[in-house]
Structure 1
Amino acid sequence: MLRSLYSGVSGMRGFQTKLDVIGNNIANVNTIGFKGSRAMFKDILSQTVAGVTAPLDGNGGVNAKQIGLGVTLAAIDTIHTPGSAMTTNVVTDVRIDGDGFFAVRDGEDGGIFLTRDGNFKIDAAGQIVTSDGYRVMGADDVLPAIDTAAVTAFSIDQNGQFIGVNVDGTSAPIDGMQIALVKVTNPSGLEKVGGNMYRVTPNAMEGDIVFSAPNDPAVGTGAIISGQLEMSNVDLTGEFTEMIVAQRGFQANSKIITTSDEVLQEVLGLKR
């Protein structure tokens, strides 16, 4: 069979995967804290028709003759560039201005997940939670509940510290109420688990999760901006451009298959 037939099939599969990635990016163009992905490709092992020879006895060397066998998926990278800021003026909406991730916990003894989605809320018990009810974490543990009887209002400074307004009108930091951030060595190594959350993998960071204070220059964590949310970093212009490239690439590879089929038809016709 013709090698080009299988090369065309591999190309169509590759561009179909690229279209799947682009479609997911476009679908999440308004998702808070979403990070877009890209599909990267590599060539498949080439078949050597003739080997290489070195220069010898005054004769020049001869290069190898190799025929490529198609394309395969190399990686699907998550692009962790910052998204644009959306001002909401809601105190519990927070954005990370720089590096780092929020840490949230599922239940009392559940797993810890990371997220850039700072759309937090206060539940009936005064706890700071995500939209799915996950508890937001401070240093080593979840943030304690806010005593709504003692605190009439609060704000959040750039260090992630909650500043409460007492019933007598005075303001003071609330003990234990400081949002923690997690600095990840390789953010692209995080595993997406849905719900705008990531799971830490061995290729994302070594050892256990380390909680750090926001706006810490020694660690490199970003500042906390209250009243804003980080939007998706998906660029629609770039995504639609890549969609055209993927569509044309898919069509070109399908043409390779139909052309190879016509050649095979000619070969079969030689017997008549």
Structure 2
Amino acid sequence: MLRSMYSGISGMKGFQTKLDTIGNNIANVNTYGYKKGRVTFQDMMSQTMSNAQGPIAGENGNVRGGLNPSQVGLGSQVGSIDTIHTQGNRQTTNRPLDLSLEGDGMFVLAEAGESGIDTDDREIELGNVNTSFTRAGNFYLDSEGAIVNNEGKYLVGQLVNENGEEVSGILTIPDSAQSFSIQTDGTVNYVDENGDPQVAGQVRLANFSNPSGLEKLGGNTFQYTENAGEAIDGLDDLLVAGQDGTGQMVAGALEMSNVDLAESFTEMITSQRGFQANTRIITTSDEILQELVNLKR
């Protein structure tokens, strides 16, 4: 059988994967905090017809020049499916629990009901709970006043316990609070029933040396992997917004998806044409095989 037929098949598979990724990007064009995917290709192993040779001296002292290798490629394959963590546009909502990050960093979420969460004093042992990370800043208050996301995961921040120590924990706004606000550094302030200003805690962020190494979990969240950087084991691993390379926190706004529709549709067109070209390779190879079969009539 012709090698070109199998090369065409490999090209079709690769462009199908790229079309799947583009379709997912377009489907999430209005998803808060979504980071688009990108597919790259690489060539497959090549079949060597003749090896490279260096210059050779003849018997009479003549020198024969070197020869380049002769190789036939066997198609293409998907090299990587990357997650592009560029900044998305900011959408103003004027809702106090909508938070947007202008720059690097991610919100830290802790699973509800884990053994590492003390629901009485609101402390969280980060090394003993399942943590996830997100750029989607649409948060809410539960029945106990804790700040959670739309799946009930707690927003992790810095608290001061009864002993005056800074610990990681659940940020809570009392039911008796008259109003509350979140500052650009993540500090959560509220006014109590007596009209006195109080501090509920401070939203802390996680920052990774390689955010593309995070694994998507769905629900606008990411999971830590060893290729992302250092793990989050305690409060010391969390950062204050606007410090140590993290971005500023903006309340009353949300970060939109970083998908560019014009770019996505252009990539979709080129992928479609690439897919069609590879199908043409298969049909042309089939016509050649048919001609070979018809040599004997």
TM-score bracket for the superposition, by shorter chain length: over 0.9
Q: CA RMSD in A?
A: 1.2
- Structure 1 position 168, deviation (Å): 3.4
1: distance between equivalents of 2:232 and 2:180? Answer: 32
- Structure 1 position 214, deviation (Å): 1.2
Q: Given the superposition, is the C-alpha separation of residues 143 and 208 from structure 1 closer, same or farther in structure 2, using an over 3 Å criterion?
A: closer
Q: Deviations over 1:122-179 (max 9, x none)?
A: 1111010001111100136332422222x210100011001112333343433xx211
Judge which range, 225-234 or 131-140, deviates more.
131-140
2: distance between equivalents of 1:76 and 1:193? Answer: 15
Q: 2:84 maps to which residue? A: 79
Counterpart residue identity of residue 8, structure 1: G
1:65 to 2:102 alignment: no
**TM-score, scaled to structure 2:** 0.87
Runs of at least 5 residues in structure 1 that lack an aligned partner in the other structure:
none
- Structure 1 position 182, deviation (Å): 0.1
Report the secondary structure of 1:145's partner residue: coil
Q: Would the aligned equivalents of 2:173 and 2:190 in 1 still touch at CA under 8 Å? A: no
Out of 226, 235, 240, the residue aligned to residue 213 of structure 1 is 240
1: distance between equivalents of 2:287 and 2:23? Answer: 33
Q: Would the aligned equivalents of 1:143 and 1:179 in 2 still touch at CA under 8 Å? A: no
Aligned length: 267
Q: Given the superposition, is the C-alpha separation of residues 244 and 180 from structure 1 closer, same or farther in structure 2, using an over 3 Å criterion?
A: same
**TM-score, scaled to structure 1:** 0.95
Report the secondary structure of 1:147's partner residue: coil
Q: 1:204 maps to which residue? A: 228
Report the secondary structure of 1:29's partner residue: coil
Report the secondary structure of 1:52's partner residue: coil
1:128 to 2:147 alignment: yes
Structure index of larger Rg: 2
2: distance between equivalents of 1:65 and 1:36? Answer: 39
Q: 1:271 maps to which residue? A: 296
Identity %: 48
Runs of at least 5 residues in structure 2 that lack an aligned partner in the other structure:
58-62, 115-128, 159-166
Q: 2:27 maps to which residue? A: 27
Out of 117, 136, 145, the residue aligned to residue 136 of structure 2 is 117
Counterpart residue identity of residue 279, structure 2: S
2: distance between equivalents of 1:261 and 1:192? Answer: 41
Report the secondary structure of 2:56's partner residue: coil
1:49 to 2:75 alignment: no
1: distance between equivalents of 2:178 and 2:7? Answer: 67
Out of 233, 247, 265, the residue aligned to residue 240 of structure 1 is 265
Counterpart residue identity of residue 201, structure 1: T
Q: 1:162 maps to which residue? A: 188
2: distance between equivalents of 1:103 and 1:241? Answer: 35
